[in-house]
Structure 1
Amino acid sequence: MRRLLATFGAVVLASSLTACGLDLNAALPYEVKPGSIRPEPSLSGVHVTVGSKDFTENIILGYLAELALSAAGAKVTDLTNISGSNSERQALLNEQVSLYWEYTGTAWISYQGNDQPIPDEAGQYDAVKAADERQNGVTWLRYSPVNDTYAFGTTEAYAQAHNLRSTSDMTSFLREHPDQAVFCVETEFASRQDGMPGVQATYGFPTTTVKTFGTGTIYSAIANGTCNFGEIFTTDGRIAGLNLRVLTDDKKFFPQYNAAVTLKKSFLERYPALREVLEPVGDALDNQQMIELCKQVDVDGRDPGEVARDWMVAKGFVS
């Protein structure tokens, strides 16, 4: 059963968000009870508005946070599925949402204007967190192992046939078999220095043919043999749905995009228990689990709130 929070605060918030082009959805996916997440007296009745971006993974992450906070006793308002990263970010800066999951690489490059990523996950997180606190009063909870970055993918059958697990394995194979160097990539990725030209220079693999497609088409193009290798996102549900293998970026060329809850530093100082409620949820996730959760939505057609609830129950966070 969906639960509607009809409060004066929600009405006021709806008015301000609608003026900014954001649509308020105050319904939480499911009523849950505490599991390992126990009621937290300092959060009892506290209004927390949770946002998310408008793609499957981030929507699922938003629901995970909502369910955790609800189990802890907070009064949660759902504002998942905000269109565009910049809109979501501005909603946080303007305090129209209390928190949402952001990615270290997105903040470092898109919001903070850096053009050189830091290859180490912890180093990238530390740099982003320090800059965001200093410049914007925004802090980051501990980052999750979920790292939604770029990689090359191929079919599981092709990878097994040629013993391919990493981009270096791919490079060695293609140097011996250059006729197999058929790639599918996005148009922009084909020419960007942090895309195909840069990664090719870093690893030194040959390319016989480079075909350009839209993002969604690349996954099916790999699966049906149109290309042997393609540019993919490392947590996309179609990886599992189409039985693809992610090749490890062993030289760490691509930026790190670890997910972490972001919120105003002042809000965390007011409610420090948010950390102990939300950080264990992020810790319990990894790329393989996120691929499966996204597959359940994008391939199997399940509701993201239902998928989030079932995972939280399975992990014992809620009941």
Structure 2
Amino acid sequence: MRRRGWLIWLAVAMVALAGCGLVSSSGTFRATSLPDGKKPLEGAEITVTSKNFTESVLLGKIAATYLAAAGADITDMTNAPGSASSRQAMLNGTADLTWEYTGTAWVTYLHEKEVIANPQELWQKVHDVELEQNNLVWLPPANFNDTYAFAMSTPTSDRLKITTMSEIAKLPVNERTFCINDEFFSRPDGFLPMLQTYGMPYNTPNGVPADNVTQMDSGVVYTATAKGEPCNFGMVYTTDGRIKNLNLVVLEDDKKYFLPYSGTVVVRKETLDAHPEIAPLMAPISEKLTDEVMQELNGRVDIDGEDPSDVAYEWLKSEGFVT
């Protein structure tokens, strides 16, 4: 259940946390300390939550591990059940800190339809509205953007010799073959308007005929794309570890169709006011987290089967954040 499950959100939001507390199927992280031994958050009680897909859990574990190393008493509520649980926990004060995505907030939470291609501009708008309406502070975003993209296998890339989405429209119609999941096909900001934006209208002889599009489960999209069968171009998430593992080549979204999904630490204003040290502590973490880093970390969980708590701890240690 990716964060983009906007249809699921509508159903789950009505019942999230009704009659019960926020429950985690995870709840553990590695104990450690800061290299200088200082505890700038000593005495702080902070509940960290996340959604229940790999990247969100990993980010939650990074925050929980690092803030605990800084002396905070952490309640780990990462891997919250249902796509709406962690959001509701932040709104009702059950949780204090989470990682979120600017695109998710803009489309799913704030119900905005305007496409803002500039990541900083989108973050600023989300920041301002969330602070005013929900008393949530969006700290400066990290250096990764987990948005939609289309990718090719390396052999397909070598054969077609294209690097941008616009160049697909210059290929013969029979080469414009796509693998996507059902949700992306039906989204109002998904596949059909994307084809329109790039001058390849769906189900038209000179665009992308319906027979050129195969809908399948998200996981199968990656393997089908790597095989180049039945499609040349597969829908991917830009920080997914399978991109690197399968040697996929991501096309540039040169018309900036896809909304930015910049990963961002979100803190309840009351919590940040009480413990302003959180912001400078999390800033260097955000700076280090790039698309390539997230692909590697996600791959260690999804492909290599490592525990998110261990991956989070080992990354923090390797970067010198904890000892």
**1:212 has 2:215 as partner:** yes
Q: CA deviation at 1:70?
A: 1.5
Encode CA deviations 1:1-41: one digit per residue, 9 max, x unaligned: xxxxxxxxxxxxxxxx79435324685321212137x6243
Provide structure 1 residue ranges, at least 5 long, that are not aligned to the other structure.
1-16
Encode CA deviations 1:42-72: one digit per residue, 9 max, x unaligned: x102111111100000110001101210121
TM-score, scaled relative to structure 1 = 0.88
Out of 37, 55, 60, the residue aligned to residue 62 of structure 1 is: 60
The separation in 1 between residues aligned to 2:274 and 2:25, in whole angstroms, is: 25
Q: How do 1:217-296 residues align onto structure 2 when only pairs under 5 Å count?
A: 217-226=220-229, 227-296=231-300
The corresponding residue for 1:162 is 160
Describe the SS at the equivalent of 1:76. strand
Q: How do 1:126-145 residues align onto structure 2 when only pairs under 5 Å count?
A: 126-145=124-143
TM-score, scaled relative to structure 2 = 0.87
Encode CA deviations 1:240-286: one digit per residue, 9 max, x unaligned: 22221221212110111101111111211111100011121011011
Q: Given residue 304 of structure 2, which amino acid in structure 1 is its aligned partner?
A: D
Greater displacement, 162-171 / 85-94: 162-171
The separation in 2 between residues aligned to 1:252 and 1:261, in whole angstroms, is: 24
The corresponding residue for 1:91 is 89
Describe the SS at the equivalent of 1:130. helix
Q: CA deviation at 1:77?
A: 1.4
Q: Given residue 207 of structure 1, which amino acid in structure 2 is its aligned partner?
A: V
**1:183 has 2:214 as partner:** no
Q: How do 1:16-31 residues align onto structure 2 when only pairs under 5 Å count?
A: 19-20=19-20, 22-24=22-24, 27-31=27-31
Describe the SS at the equivalent of 1:85. coil
Q: Given residue 313 of structure 1, which amino acid in structure 2 is its aligned partner?
A: K
Q: CA deviation at 1:289?
A: 1.0
The corresponding residue for 1:202 is 197
Is residue 50–residue 65 contact of structure 1 (8 Å, CA) maintained in 2? Answer: yes
Is residue 183–residue 210 contact of structure 1 (8 Å, CA) maintained in 2? Answer: yes
Q: CA deviation at 1:224?
A: 2.1
Q: Given residue 305 of structure 1, which amino acid in structure 2 is its aligned partner?
A: S
Moved over 6 A (4+): none
CA RMSD of aligned residues (A): 1.8
Is residue 24–residue 81 contact of structure 2 (8 Å, CA) maintained in 1? Answer: no
The alignment of Structure 1 onto Structure 2 pairs a total of residues equal to 298
Per the alignment, do residues 18 and 63 of structure 1 end up closer, same or farther by CA in structure 2, a change over 3 Å counting?
A: farther
Per the alignment, do residues 273 and 25 of structure 1 end up closer, same or farther by CA in structure 2, a change over 3 Å counting?
A: farther
The separation in 2 between residues aligned to 1:167 and 1:150, in whole angstroms, is: 12
Is residue 151–residue 232 contact of structure 1 (8 Å, CA) maintained in 2? Answer: yes
Q: How do 1:107-126 residues align onto structure 2 when only pairs under 5 Å count?
A: 107-126=105-124
The separation in 1 between residues aligned to 2:39 and 2:164, in whole angstroms, is: 44
Provide structure 2 residue ranges, at least 5 long, that are not aligned to the other structure.
1-16, 201-206
The separation in 2 between residues aligned to 1:163 and 1:315, in whole angstroms, is: 37
Is residue 117–residue 256 contact of structure 1 (8 Å, CA) maintained in 2? Answer: no
Greater displacement, 55-64 / 148-157: 148-157
The separation in 2 between residues aligned to 1:263 and 1:57, in whole angstroms, is: 18
Is residue 99–residue 263 contact of structure 1 (8 Å, CA) maintained in 2? Answer: yes
The corresponding residue for 1:308 is 312
The separation in 1 between residues aligned to 2:61 and 2:46, in whole angstroms, is: 13
The separation in 1 between residues aligned to 2:237 and 2:90, in whole angstroms, is: 25
Instruction: Tell me the percent identity.
Output: 39
Is residue 56–residue 297 contact of structure 1 (8 Å, CA) maintained in 2? Answer: yes
Is residue 105–residue 117 contact of structure 1 (8 Å, CA) maintained in 2? Answer: no
Q: CA deviation at 1:290?
A: 0.5
The corresponding residue for 1:106 is 104
The separation in 1 between residues aligned to 2:222 and 2:26, in whole angstroms, is: 34
